[in-house]
Chains A and B, each alone.
Chain A
C-alpha cells in the first residue's frame, strides 16, 4: 500500500524524476510505527481463529494455516457470550440515545434561550465535570441500594441519563447556528418544541454523530460500575463477562481472544459509519479545553 506512494516520483522543474528522500524516510518510519501499533490488534484477531497447537506454537504463528471457527462457536454456545452481548447492546443503545437527546435539549436551551439563572446553571454543570468519579463510587452504590436498583439495569441507565460533557459540547456547537434562523422559525409560528425538534436537531447531526461515538464507546467499554451493581451473572454486560471469561479460561487463550475480538466489532462498525464526523468532533473537544 505504501510502496506505491514511495515509488511515486516527484517531477522536477525540468521534468526529470526526483525522489524526495525525506518523504521516503518519513513513510518508512511511520510504517514501522504503524506496524508496531497494529501488531497487537492483528494478534488478537488472528488468535481467535487459531487451533490450540498454533496458539502456543513456536515460532509465533501470525496467520493461522487453517482458520478455525471453533473458538467463536465455543464462546457463543458454551458460554453466555450471546447474552452478555445482547445485554451490552441494549444498555449501550438505550443510554446513548437518551443522553444524546438530553444533551442536545439542555445544550440548546442553555445556548439559545434566555432565562434567570442560566449562566449559574451552566457553570454548575461545568463544575460537576471536575468531580473525580472515585468520589461518587461509594455513595452512588448506597443510593442504588436505597432505590433497590442493585442488580437491575436501572442502575446502569438512570445515572448516565445526563452528561455534563455532552451538554457542554452541544452548547458550544449551538453558537455556530445563527439566531436569525430560530427567529425565522418563530415568526412562521413554530413552537419552541418544534423549533428544537425540526430545526435544531437536524442541524446538529454532525456534532451528535461525534458525541454519539463517544457515548457509545464509554458505555460499551464501561466496566467498573456494571461490575459493582450487577451480581447476577445473567445480567452481566460484555466487559464484565469478558473479565470473568479470562479467569475461567485462563489457559484457553484462543477463546479469550475470540471474545475480545468480537467485543471490538460494534465499536468498529459505529466508528466506520460515523467516521467522517469524528475528527471534527475531536477537534471540538480539544479546542475548548
Chain B
C-alpha cells in the first residue's frame, strides 16, 4: 500500500500513515457486504413474500400473489390473539418482577458492609445456566408428583396437617405461563442486579449522608435519591427487557414440549404459546413460509411501536 498522507481523526496535525486506506476497506467492505446479504436482503425478500403463498416444501404449488390475505387470516383468527395475550402476560410478569426484585436486591446488596461480591455472585450464578438447562431443571422442579416444590409443600402439609390442594404447575393452563416466568426471572435476575449495582456505584455517597443529616428514613432516601438517579438504568432494563420478552420462545418451548421433540409444545391448551411460537410452528412445522412471514411482519410492527412509545416516554422523562 502506498504511503498516504492524511489528517488524523482529531485533525490536530497531519501524520503520515501507511495502510490507512487498506485498513478502512478491510473493516468496512466485508461488514457492509455481510449485513446486506445476511440481514437486509433476507428481510426485504421475506416482507415481499409475506403477500404470497410461499411454501418451500411443495414445489407443485405455484407461487401466487395473495395480497393481504395472509394478514387478514392471521388477524381474524383466534390463535394470533391468544398468543398475543400470552406474550403480553408473560412479558409483564417477567419485567415487573425483574425490575422490582432487581432494584430492591441491588440496593440491599450495595448497602452491605462485607461480602457484597459474594452475594452478587450467588445471584449471578443462574445467569450462567443456559435457557435449555434451566428449562429442563424447572420442569423437574415443577413436576407435580416428585418435583422439588410439591415435595416441600407435601412435607409442610404432613408436618402441620394443613389442607391444601397442590398445584399441577406446568400441566395446568392457569399456572403454566407463570411457571415459565418464574424460571426466566430466576435466570435473568442476576444480570439486572449487576446492572443496577453498577449504576448504584455512580451515586455519590454524599447525597445519602446529606439526607441522613436531614433526618430522612432509609425508605425515603431509596425513593428520592436511588430511584431518580438510577432512572437511565431502570429505563434500559425496562426497554431491553420488554423487547426480549416479546420475542420469547425457547423457555416456553422447552418447558412445554412433549415426550418427543416433534410433538409440538405450547400447551397445555395453548397457554404457553407465544407470538414467536406461532411463527415458528407455521414456518418450520407447517412449511407455510408466506404466512409465517406475515406473522413476522406483525411481530415487527408490535415491537417497533412499543420501542417508539418507550422512546417518547423516555424523552418526556428527561425533559423536566
Question: A interface vs B, CB < 8 Å?
Answer: 1-2, 5, 8, 22-23, 26-27, 29-30, 33-34, 37-41, 43-44, 47, 55-56, 58-60, 102, 105-106, 108-110, 112-115, 121, 124-125, 128, 130-143, 145, 158-159, 161-162, 167, 179, 182-183, 186-187, 189-193, 196, 217, 220-221, 223-224, 228, 239, 242-247, 250, 253, 256-257, 259-261, 263-264, 267-268, 271, 278-279, 282-283, 285-287, 289
- Interface check B53, CB cutoff 8 A: no
Q: B257 near A: Cβ within 8 Å? A: yes
A131 touches B43 (CB 8 A): yes
In the complex, chain A residues whose CB is within 8 Å of the CB of B154: 58
Known: A121-B28, A179-B9. A142 touches B56 (CB 8 A): yes
Asked if B35 contacts A179 (CB within 8 A), the reply is: no
CA of A124 to CA of B56, assembled, Å? 31
Task: Check if B280 sits within 8 Å of A112, measured CB to CB.
Answer: no
Report if B213 contacts A (CB, 8 A).
Answer: no
B263's closest neighbor in chain A, by CB? A247
- Knowing A140-B38, A143-B42, say if A30 contacts B105 (CB, 8 Å): yes
Segment at the A interface, from B62-70, B72-80, B109-117, B204-212: B109-117
**A-B pairs with beta carbons under 8 Å apart, 7 shown:** A33-B123, A105-B26, A121-B31, A179-B9, A243-B136, A247-B260, A287-B198
Residue with the greatest number of chain A CB neighbours at <10 A, chosen from B114, B128, B148, B191: B128
Name which residue of chain A comes closest to B292, CB basis.
Answer: A138
The reply to whether B198 and A286 form a contact with Cβ atoms under 8 Å apart is yes
Report B57 CB to chain A, min CB distance, Å.
11
Q: How far is the CB of B51 from chain A (nearest CB, A)?
A: 14
User: CB within 8 Å of A: which of B267-311?
Assistant: 275-276, 279-280, 283-284, 289, 292-293, 296-297, 299-300, 303-304, 307
Whether A26 and B136, one on each chain, are in contact in the complex, defined by CB atoms closer than 8 angstroms, is no
* CB-defined contacts of B151 to chain A, threshold 8 Å: 58-60
- What A residues does B292 contact at CB under 8 A? 138
In the complex, the answer to whether A37 meets B27 with C-beta atoms within 8 Å is no
Measured CA separation A40–B206 after assembly (Å): 39
| Complexed CA–CA distance, A17 and B298 (Å) | 65
Q: Which of A37, A130, A279, A283 has the most CB of B within 10 A?
A: A37
In the assembled complex, how far is the CB of residue A135 from the closest CB belonging to chain B, in whole angstroms? 5
Interface of B is mostly: helix
Cβ of B39 < 8 Å from any Cβ of A?
yes
**Is B166 located at the chain interface by the 8 A CB criterion?**
no
Contact across chains for A134 and B247 when beta carbons are under 8 A apart:
yes
Partner of B8, one of A38, A135, A182: A182
Q: Which of B141, B197, B239 contacts A40 (CB 8 A)?
A: B141
Of all chain A residues, which has the CB nearest B48? A139
| 4 further contact pairs, Cβ within 8 A, besides A44-B133, A271-B128, A286-B233 | A128-B39, A141-B283, A142-B56, A162-B35
Interchain CB contact under 8 A, A192 and B23: yes
**What is the distance, in angstroms, from A58's C-beta to the closest C-beta of chain B?**
6
Query: With the chains together, A40 CA to B32 CA distance in Å?
Result: 44
| A132-B303, A289-B239 known; A125 vs B140 contact (CB < 8 Å) | no
Q: Could you tell me if B18 and A289 are in contact, using CB atoms closer than 8 angstroms?
A: no
Is the pair A286, B236 in contact by a Cβ cutoff of 8 Å? yes
Could you say which residues of chain A place their CB within 8 Å of the CB of B296?
A: 134-135, 137-138
How far in angstroms is the closest Cβ of chain A from B187?
A: 9
Query: A264, B130: Cβ atoms under 8 Å?
Result: yes
Contact, CB under 8 Å: A193 / B23 = yes
For residue B189, CB closer than 8 A to chain A, the reply is yes
Q: Which residues of B contact A29 (CB under 8 A)?
A: 108
Interface status of B199 (Cβ within 8 A of chain A): yes
Closest Cβ–Cβ distance, residue B240 to chain A (whole Å): 7
Q: Which 3 A-B pairs have the closest CB atoms?
A: A289-B236, A139-B42, A283-B198
Would you call A282 and B42 a contact (CB within 8 A)?
A: no
Point out the residues of chain A lying under 8 angstroms from B258, CB to CB: 247
In contact, A193 and B19 (Cβ under 8 angstroms): yes
Chain A residues with Cβ below 8 Å from B280 are 137, 224
